[in-house]
Structure 1
Amino acid sequence: MKINKIEGTVSLRRSLDQGTEVQRKAVLNVIEHVKEAGDNALFTYTEKWDGAKLSTLKVSKAEIEQAYQDISPQIIPIIHEAAENIRNFHQKQVKQSWLSTKQDGTILGQQVTALDAVGVYVPGGKAAYPSSVLMNVIPAQVAGVERIAMVSPPASDGSLPTGVLVAADILGVEEIYKVGGAQAIAALAYGTETIKAVDKIVGPGNIFVALAKKEVYGMVDIDSIAGPSEIVVLADDTAKANEIAADLLSQAEHDERASSVLVTTSELLAEAVKVEVEKQLVDLPRESIARAALEEYGAIYITSSMKEALHVVNELAPEHLEVMTAEPMNLLPYIKHAGAIFLGRYSSEPIGDYFAGPNHVLPTNGTARFSSGLSVDEFIKKSSIVMYSEQALIDSVDKIAAFARLEGLEAHARAVESRFK
């Protein structure tokens, strides 16, 4: 990792993979084919790209029962406990409808309504994460979404990962389909004979999934187009080099484009962390991935003061921020931009990935400057309520009509005036 003294601004932003024109055209062709041929198109693409020749798309009860037989029995209560933690956290985010009555009889308010149906995309292959099932499904359930359809690409034998199936079953997801890629997004957006269309699609995927989500946006809502994972550690001279190195590597092992950054006021700590990272890389199973990420997107920044360090952190606006200082809570008011903030030595980032309760679907690539992580809010919509009394309209009709005529909209003015003519 490179050690840098701060000079000017810093950024984690990497160019987002927008795909090639060939890839975009391929995705458009897939979407059109699914719209025209429905299930047949899904079977065709699943055999072509996943090597699985299926006769049915929906996961059966027998497959779920088999997943329970195949998974380690020790992991089942852990998934249950993690799910409970996540549910408890998200229940605190629930918003209520409200009404307010004025003295003249006017009633104003807001009605909060859950989406009817949501599609959850779960990546397959080496990126099959049961934790993603929990993080995407639970906030939708807490919001009150009645129908949740989960899609995931199968292995060549037609199976889905045992952990994914068990996690989905623990949550009570009844619609699980063995289909992935752009074709799965098209099925969720437009519907087929087996998969009914949804109102919103959430969950990460490869470039073809991302391009498909972009193309169907407007027909349905989507969560976001996630970028590579990021971590920034803010540390002073009280932090432990081996612990910081371990946390930096926890994100670097995700992807060759993941970013791991240390911002510190201590030159001694910076040097020690650099040495410790190299030491821990040696026996890391995903050493080649982590090393590539650190070489391209890893950095250590030394600042002259904690004030300057906080400025750097806010410029970076990271997905994950760890604060490993003597008094981390004292720095919290000065942190403006971060997807999730982990305070203190015992709040290692993976706690948030799996167990603590907050959602691990977070803004990346600097978008924490203006966006938030996945929450219950993503699965609701708000309708304004207006009920004017006669007296209220009498008091306001001339003002409303004048405003309408200012904008040249005579019919608007006449609409309110018609109540008294």
Structure 2
Amino acid sequence: MKVLVIGGGGREHIIVKKLKESKRVSNIYAAPGNGGIANDATCVAIKDDAIDELVDFALKHQIDWTIVGPEVPLTKGIVDIFRNNNLKIFGPTQAAALIEGSKDFAKAFMKQYDIPTANYQTFTDIEKAKAYIQKEGAPIVIKADGLAAGKGVVVAMSEQQALDAVEDMLIDNKFGEAGSRVVIEEYLEGKEFSLFAFVHGENVYPMIPARDHKRAYENDEGPNTGGMGAFSPVPDLEPTDIEYTVEKILKPVAKGMKQEGRTYTGVLYGGLIQTKEGIKVIEFNARFGDPETQVVLPLLENDLIQVIEDVTAGKDPRLKWKDGYAIGTVVASKGYPGSYAKNIKLPDLVADNDVYVIHAGTALSEDGSFHSNGGRVLLVGSLQNSPEKAQTEIYKYLSRFDESNGFFYRKDIGFSN
């Protein structure tokens, strides 16, 4: 089979690596891919949202399956367009991807179908938004309604921080069109976790839970990022917690989306939190999450393309999971999630049987060396029989990154949180 993976980050690299394990897959293409993906697949210089070009490529190369990594092409309707061209593609339609594309839609949907989540209100008027913040007080959460590359959420610990956040979004257009409407939510306290599921219609097949570390610095301090590392499974989650999440959250979403005429096929990502009142939804994503995918897929025993074929044919894929712990630590460019330098040479990434290296923001030079090309540069992961062993191997490998040379990483991934 020929498979096309759309995207160019760490999530797409681990998907490519998983596909490489399949005896059924002969050729893997990635559009646009990245420096590290180029070692595992044929990279194609087409942007992930250049849908017409992607369709042309898939038709010309007789691609058997396309897997969509990022959210932007999904919300632009790539699945609908591929299907109209009789191309097999795994992901939700444009109508179904709105569960990620609009936070206001997602919140209203959860309210309609009694799915537990934080109380909220949506605003386009700055004065009304400020009045609501002053009435509710802090801490409080401000979210851009649309897609903002994982950066459109401010957890405001003070009233002033919240007021500044709505000004940034509604007045200063910090997130452009995505922030022209804001969702203001009550602040939820508790431990967060992520649960992905393969979904087709009302069929829901949960994966193994993961937890990511969103803050930039150790002890969960500093600004929110797209994720500085992750681990799976999550030791403090009980089987009853997973059962509750599947029965009271994921299955009602699948059923509700079908009732709304937005039947869902693809990966549904639940960003969840264990509160004193029970498990609640923070957000939904319409695809694999990053960096959690980099610790979940290494634990999956099944052939990924077989899972996709089974799920889309209405069959139970009978997911099997390895016994063990996967931890991944992100190496980021100094300054991330703010401004940062690019094109910094990476140290030699020698192969090591105890770790796996997933590229996110890298470029491959003509001399075969890698340079940084993004905020999150790569993830170093390890799959071991204990979290301690995984951490030891990761940090041994990461010692080659001299932090004075433009990179940083958290030294507590898998410990805190």
TM-score by length of 1: 0.33
Larger strand fraction of residues: 2
Larger RCO (CA within 8 A; separation ≥ 6): 1
TM-score by length of 2: 0.34
